[in-house]
């Protein structure tokens, strides 16, 4: 919640419809503060128990009673394409959250639909909520733009569409519908009410088949409204096939225009993180301190972020950040210079070559990237001046001696970066730090990009599951630094 302030507004206040699970979460916090109970405790006492919804789960601690295993299409390059397969693990919205943290069975949801259709009246005549509240919830509060559907689905397009209070509202051939969907990784659901007919139904699945929800809803609506029904499922399957075919073609066309190499990988990882809910804040960490079971991360502009876990992934500055948490981390920044040269006599098909003297070269398009061994000592993390004297006095003669085709090279450009050097053995430090909920993923000594996907997955497994699942990273743990180093990295380029 504290990070909401950093989200940029995409439109003016109440200017247009915008859905946000984060704001439902904020509403849940308001309920907890005003009621004096956690969100799950309040929902159970105020709604679930009066309704007799005994199967509903409102807290993460109850998740063990869930038996439906989640499924999705995850075997191809685009999630949603390919065959349906079980997910490798269950996923659940943890904590007392008002957005997606309530799980219920079909029989329990029938009780919820009944009270909605009865304008808040329970079977014994009591009002769970007033008829006026029910009317407001089911009334169109914010109009939504209607985008015409393709093909035969256009016949199902509504005449009006909008959002009420916690419900979507539209019509189907003139009959008003009140509905809402829901989902998490590996499961989607759809609940639809037809107040004029006193009908409600819910479709629960343990797979990410959103297209099936639409087809199934239309089939049920046609059945209960006495309409002739086309083959909505077949039509949906054909539309999904076209959609994924077009998506693959667009992805291939976009990929052909993208530059290849480390920068494109970093952009892809960042985009994937954002799509999973990560928020990137461009600022400097100025302080770390514990507040009970939480961490407060101080930022350079004077604000702070409260969180339960901190992962130190700060590269050459890792030791400074670790020190803020009371951890002595033997990681230092070591400046490395990279030079771009034009070598007209060299063969662009040459592989990466690493010389025993510690320098290297490799083709990069029509040019070559060359680098010298690590300089002695360590450097400030803001020193980005390339070592031009090293190139002129040492590296160029070494290159020409190794490959005479480099004698006529021409220096085009250069840059300097910093390896995050583990000064004890040159290998990464991954895992717990000894300080509660302060995690380390540092000291990759120039191999960070190569190791990042596997290292990040391993640390995520350790944090979420309490142990490594995919690859055992215990040999890279922090505890080894207190013992004799028996596997130092001999050559680092």
One domain, residues 236 and 279: no
Residue numbers of the domain that contains 384: 331-422
One domain, residues 272 and 227: no
Domain boundary among 374, 396, 422: 422
One domain, residues 128 and 192: yes
Residue 488 covered by a domain: no
- Cβ atoms of 186 and 207 closer than 8 Å: yes
Residue 63 covered by a domain: yes
pLDDT at 92: 59
* Torsional class of 119: left (φ above 0), alpha (ψ -120 to 50), beta (otherwise): left
Domain boundary among 214, 244, 274: 244
pLDDT at 489: 59
One domain, residues 308 and 340: no
Phi, psi of 331 (to 5 degrees): -120, 130
- Cβ atoms of 142 and 163 closer than 8 Å: yes
Residue 1 covered by a domain: no
Q: What is the DSSP letter of 384?
A: -
Question: Could you tell me the strand order of the sheet in which 142-143 lies?
Answer: 142-143, 161-163, 168-172, 175-184, 187-194, 199-204
One domain, residues 52 and 137: yes
Residue 9 covered by a domain: no
One domain, residues 477 and 337: no
* DSSP-assigned letters across all residues of 246-292: HHHHHHHHHHHHSPPSHHHHHHHHHHHHHHTT-------EEEEEEET
Q: What is the DSSP letter of 233?
A: H
One domain, residues 290 and 354: no
* Torsional class of 431: left (φ above 0), alpha (ψ -120 to 50), beta (otherwise): left
pLDDT at 397: 95
**152-158 contacts, C-beta under 8 A, 24 or more apart:** 152/230, 152/235, 153/235, 153/239, 156/218
Tell me, yes or no, if the pTM score tops 0.75.
Answer: no
One domain, residues 63 and 161: yes
Give the domain CATH number at 355. Answer: 3.30.9.10
One domain, residues 346 and 372: yes
Residue 84: partners with Cβ closer than 8 Å, 6 or more residues away: 71, 72, 73, 207, 209
Alpha-carbon span 330 to 482, nearest angstrom: 11
Averages of pLDDT over runs of 10 residues in the chain (493 residues) are: 77 81 86 91 93 76 65 88 85 63 87 97 96 96 92 94 95 97 90 97 94 96 96 94 91 76 80 88 92 92 89 94 95 91 94 92 92 75 87 94 94 92 90 96 87 93 94 93 61 59
Residue 45 covered by a domain: yes
Number of domains in the chain: 3
pLDDT at 19: 82
Buried residues in 234-266 as b, exposed as e (16+ CB within 10 A): ebbeebbeeebeeeeeeeeeeeeeeeeeeeeee
What ranges in 286-431 are assigned the alpha helix state H? 318-324, 388-390, 396-402
Give the domain CATH number at 326. Answer: 3.50.50.60
Distance of CA 20 to the CA centre of its chain: 16
One domain, residues 33 and 142: yes
pLDDT at 204: 94
Domain boundary among 186, 212, 244: 244
Question: What is the dihedral angle through the alpha carbons of 109, 113, 119, 123, rounded to the nearest 10 degrees?
Answer: -70
pLDDT at 90: 67
What sign for the dihedral angle of Cα 232, 233, 238, 244? positive
One domain, residues 141 and 192: yes
3-state secondary structure at position 155 = helix
Give me the half-sphere count of Cα atoms (radius 13 Å) on the Cβ side of residue 472.
Answer: 2
């Amino acid at each position: 919640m504290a990070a909401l302030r950093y989200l940029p507004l995409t439109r003016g206040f109440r200017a247009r419809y915008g859905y946000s699970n984060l704001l439902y979460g904020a509403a849940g916090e308001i309920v907890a503060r005003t009621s004096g109970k956690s969100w799950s405790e309040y929902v159970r006492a105020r709604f679930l128990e009066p309704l007799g919804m005994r199967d509903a789960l409102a807290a993460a601690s109850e998740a063990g009673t869930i038996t439906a295993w989640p499924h999705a299409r995850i075997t191809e390059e685009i999630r949603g394409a390919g065959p349906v397969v079980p997910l490798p693990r269950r996923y659940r919205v943890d904590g007392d959250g008002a957005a997606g943290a309530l799980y219920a069975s079909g029989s329990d949801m029938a009780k919820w639909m009944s009270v909605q259709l009865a304008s808040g009246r329970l079977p014994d005549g009591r009002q769970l909520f007033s008829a006026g509240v029910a009317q407001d919830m089911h009334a169109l509060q914010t109009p939504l733009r209607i985008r015409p559907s393709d093909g035969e689905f256009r016949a199902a397009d509504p005449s009006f569409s909008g959002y009420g209070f916690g419900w979507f509202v539209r019509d189907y051939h003139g009959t008003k519908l009140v509905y809402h969907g829901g989902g998490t990784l590996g499961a989607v659901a759809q609940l639809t009410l037809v107040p004029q007919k006193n009908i409600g139904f819910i479709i629960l699945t343990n797979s990410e088949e959103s297209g099936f929800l639409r087809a199934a809803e239309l089939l049920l609506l046609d059945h209960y409204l006495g309409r002739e029904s086309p083959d909505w499922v077949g039509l949906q399957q054909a539309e999904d096939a076209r959609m994924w075919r077009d998506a693959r073609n667009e992805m291939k066309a976009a990929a052909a225009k993208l530059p290849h190499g480390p920068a494109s990988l970093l952009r892809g990882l960042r985009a994937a993180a954002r799509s999973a809910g990560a928020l990137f804040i461009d600022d400097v960490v100025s302080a770390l301190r514990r507040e009970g079971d939480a961490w407060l991360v101080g930022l350079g502009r004077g604000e702070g972020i409260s969180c339960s876990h901190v992962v130190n992934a700060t590269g050459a500055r890792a030791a400074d950040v670790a020190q803020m948490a009371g951890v002595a981390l033997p990681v230092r920044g070591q400046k490395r210079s990279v030079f771009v040269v034009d070598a007209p006599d060299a063969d662009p098909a040459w592989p990466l070559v690493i010389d025993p003297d510690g320098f290297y070269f490799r083709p990069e398009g029509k040019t070559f990237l060359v680098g010298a061994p690590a300089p002695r000592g360590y450097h400030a993390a803001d020193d980005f001046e390339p070592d031009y004297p090293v190139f002129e006095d040492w590296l160029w003669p070494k290159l020409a001696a190794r490959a005479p085709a480099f004698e006529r090279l021409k220096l085009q450009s250069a840059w300097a970066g910093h390896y995050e050097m583990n000064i004890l053995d040159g290998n990464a430090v991954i895992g717990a730090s000894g300080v509660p909920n302060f995690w380390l993923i540092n000291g990759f000594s120039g191999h960070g990009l190569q190791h990042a996907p596997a290292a990040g997955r391993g640390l995520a497994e350790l944090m979420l599951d309490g142990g490594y699942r995919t690859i055992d990273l215990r040999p890279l743990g922090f505890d080894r630094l207190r013992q004799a180093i028996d596997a130092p990295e001999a050559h680092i380029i």
